[in-house]
Amino acid sequence: MTTAVLVHVVVSGLATGSIYALVAISLVIIYNATRTLNFAQGEMLMISTFVGFTAYQRLRLPLVVVLLVAVVAAAALGWAIERLIIRHAISATHFDVLILTLGVSLVLRAGAGLVWTHDEFPFPALFANRPVALGPVRVAPVSLGIIGASLALMLALYVFFAKTRLGRAMRAVAQNQRAARLMGISVERVYSASWMLAAVVGAVAGILIAPVIFLSSKMGLVAINGFIAAVLGGFGSMPGAVVGGMLLGVLENLAPLYLPSGIKYSVPFLLLIAILLVRPGGVVGRTVRRKV
Amino acid sequence: MRYHQAWVVALGALLAAAPAAAEPGVTDTEILIGGSNSFSGPLAFTGEQITKGGVELYLRVVNDAGGIHGRKVRTLWYDDAYRPQDAVANTKKLVEQDKVFAIIIPQGSPPVVATLDYLEEQKVPLLFPYQSSPVTRGKRWIFQGMTVSDRSSKMMIDYLAGRRKFKKFAALYQDDEYGKSFLTAFEKDLGRHGLKLGAAESVKRGVTDVSAQVAKLQATKPDVTFLVLVPGPAAQALKERQKIGWSDTLMVSTGPLTDERYLALAGEAAEGVEGLSLWPDPATSDRPGVKLYREHMQKYAPRNEPNRYSMAGYFAGMLFAEAAKRAGTNLTRESLIAALEGIKGWESGILPPLTIGPDHETQKQGFWVRVEKGRFKPVTDWLKGE
């Protein structure tokens, strides 16, 4: 394989990896605040993208406004799911809540099928598809755009968690709920905020990836790789989620370049097993040693 | 003596009436047919269209005109979400509990294949399955719907290698029965022309990125690259080709892929792509049957838009109604099979005149198309698949 091909395949992998990373981050946000694994993340992403799409179709809004519509819809959906369903299961075990989110995901997918049908739709792209020359290599603006937008969002999240009161409150709750409550932080508000923030991150990922994998009721399946990315990075760590996502995206693309193409689909899992064997806490995560 | 005669007459009448009354799914006023199909899962849109959008559309026309020999046709569908095990359970339910007369237009090779032996054993007609693997061939109770892969392959290779003199071929295929049955057929037909398939890369349904596979194919420099995929991944492959600026290969879609959804998803990346079309253009063709199909859709389902899935279902409904009519008032599964086997030179106005031989195939042809300005433009007349 020539260098140009290699660069293209790696950049393409980084673009997909950015999406995995965003999904992983949204999973981690909810997990850190509530210790819940949100199996409905992919479907929430799908619904908000569909809402944005409907706004685009009906009102012919510019894409930036479409993105805003999707983000607002996502926040509302995230709030509603947490406030109306998950909050009522606050005393349930994590396993029960997990099943609850799985149920929500099925309902959302079936609901999307009723409203928008199970067809696939072409989604307008923010970035062009035709390659541009960048020195000796040619890259597609769409890949660079996805990577750039994702990195910008990650940076914004970093600032949010490091500098804002709400961000710090969310980190405090993640570390120790009781202590946070004693410090006067409303844990319930943090729960709500986490679900809304996760949904918003998911919506951005949805708008970015929809032109590539097309909009359909099944596009939420992309969240499976988001889960793997989160575990790869050490579940709970946001930098880990980013590294895990990128790593997964690139390796998933490199493997079929050198091996038979069927191998591509087992790569995420092989990688997961390999990393968990060597570093049980994930690439970035710390291993908590339990003393017996 | 009088009494005796009367008894004989009564008994005779009873015997004559009994088989008709006993035929599952058929009463004096109704024929019940149905099938397992995808109403959720990856092929939900297609499933919805071929059944409710297509078969039911034609049957409403038939029922409004008084039915078939006074019998209205009723349909019953169950969802298998493209899962073979669900397809088997649904089919058994349709046959044993609901007692349908025949199974019509189930979709997808894996679910359909899973029910073949059962239906043959139960002697239930399986009409026009919407899948392209030739495994349905040579069965007494099965009449294949969509043009099977080996016929498609023959038309495609004879046209590309024979008429157009292309030499180097590659394929991007879906990693399942659909993809593999085409791959096998391509290799065989290329062999007849003294050629072979230079490279083949597989893609799974619901894939997020096909850049590696496309890059590998490009490296082998094929004249022609076959796309044996479903619309989503195929459109992704076309966009990927645009991304890397790969222009010196002709992308060719197989029959099951050459459809409007694929075009819509790929957008401008589809320009210049060629393929084998199994159906005339549902939205623009002026063949009389297609025009009638559009009129009926306008009348009964104005919110739906013409597409080849609902047209395939409409055609299936039409062919069933034709056979049931020919089978006469005493409609049985046996007489339906005989009627179907007897169809010769039948004009549907949609496809070329149809003769169903002992091979039980109801669709054998296709024609060549090229995408120009977002539509399929016919390049050839109907090609020969025999």
Domains of chain B by residue range? 19-147+285-341, 149-277+367-378
Mean pLDDT of B245-249: 92
Kind and range of the H or E run holding B274: strand B274-277
Of A84, A101, A83, A80, the residue nearest A37 (C-alpha): A101
Q: Would you say residue A117 has pLDDT above 90?
A: no
Is the CATH code 1.10.150 the one for domain A3-278? no
pLDDT in tens, A245-286: 999 999 988 888 888 766 767 877 888 888 888 887 777 766
Q: Work out the minimum CA distance from A172 to partner chain B, whole angstroms.
A: 36
Strand ranges (E), chain A: 132-134, 137-139
Side chain identity, residue A26: S
Mean pLDDT of B246-261: 90
Q: Does A145 touch chain B (CB under 8 A)?
A: no
Q: Work out the minimum CA distance from A11 to partner chain B, whole angstroms.
A: 10
CB-CB neighbors (< 8 A) of B207 in chain A: 264
Cα–Cα distance measured from residue B84 to residue B102, given in angstroms and rounded to the nearest whole number: 19
- The B-side interface with A (CB below 8 A) comprises 40-42, 44-45, 48, 175, 201-204, 206-209, 211-213, 215-216, 218-219, 231-232, 235-236, 239, 242-245, 261, 264-267, 269
- Token readout for B237 is 């492959």
Q: Would you say residue A177 has pLDDT above 70?
A: yes
Average pLDDT, chain A: 89
Q: Please state, for a pLDDT cut of 70, what percent of chain B lies above it.
A: 95
Question: Residues A281, A287: contact at Cβ < 8 Å?
Answer: yes
Strand partners, B197: B169
The per-residue pLDDT for B40 is: 84
DSSP codes, A1-60: --HHHHHHHHHHHHHHHHHHHHHHHHHHHHHHHH----TTHHHHHHHHHHHHHHHHHHH-
| Higher pLDDT among residues A23 and B16, named by residue | A23
Cα–Cα distance measured from residue B181 to residue B116, given in angstroms and rounded to the nearest whole number: 17
Angle in degrees, CA A214, B281, B346, rounded to 5: 135
CB-CB neighbors (< 8 A) of B244 in chain A: 8, 131, 138, 140
Residues A66-71: contacts with CB under 8 Å, at least 24 apart: A66/A124, A66/A207, A67/A126, A67/A203, A67/A204, A67/A207, A70/A203, A70/A204, A70/A206, A70/A207, A71/A200, A71/A203, A71/A204
pLDDT in tens, B345-356: 999 999 999 999
Q: Smallest Cβ distance to A140: which of B201, B212, B243?
A: B243
The per-residue pLDDT for B3 is: 58
Point out the least confidently predicted range of B33-37, B107-111, B205-209, B377-381. Answer: B205-209
Cα–Cα distance measured from residue A49 to residue A123, given in angstroms and rounded to the nearest whole number: 9
Assign a CATH topology to domain B19-147+285-341.
Answer: Rossmann fold (3.40.50)
Predicted complex ipTM exceeds 0.90: no
Q: Would you say residue A2 has pLDDT above 90?
A: no
CB-CB neighbors (< 8 A) of A5 in chain B: 215, 218-219
Helices (H), B226-303: 231-243, 260-266, 288-300
Q: Smallest Cβ distance to B211: which of A9, A122, A222?
A: A9
Q: Does A250 touch chain B (CB under 8 A)?
A: no
pLDDT band per the 50, 70, 90 thresholds, residue B9:
low
- Asked if B19-147+285-341 and B149-277+367-378 have one fold, the answer is yes
Pairwise CB contact (< 8 Å): A118 & B236: no
Cα–Cα distance measured from residue A151 to residue A161, given in angstroms and rounded to the nearest whole number: 15
Q: Does A209 touch chain B (CB under 8 A)?
A: yes
Question: Residues A4, A136: contact at Cβ < 8 Å?
Answer: yes
Cα–Cα distance measured from residue B136 to residue B360, given in angstroms and rounded to the nearest whole number: 9
pTM of the model: 0.85
- Token readout for B348 is 């549907």
The per-residue pLDDT for B13 is: 54
Question: Residues B250, B224: contact at Cβ < 8 Å?
Answer: yes
Assign a CATH topology to domain B149-277+367-378.
Answer: Rossmann fold (3.40.50)
Q: Does A125 touch chain B (CB under 8 A)?
A: no
pLDDT band per the 50, 70, 90 thresholds, residue A57:
very high
CB-CB neighbors (< 8 A) of A252 in chain B: 209
The per-residue pLDDT for A94 is: 84
The per-residue pLDDT for B20 is: 46
Q: Work out the minimum CA distance from A116 to partner chain B, whole angstroms.
A: 11
The per-residue pLDDT for B5 is: 63
Cα–Cα distance measured from residue A253 to residue A196, given in angstroms and rounded to the nearest whole number: 32
* Domain positions in chain A: 3-278
Cα–Cα distance measured from residue B178 to residue A53, given in angstroms and rounded to the nearest whole number: 32
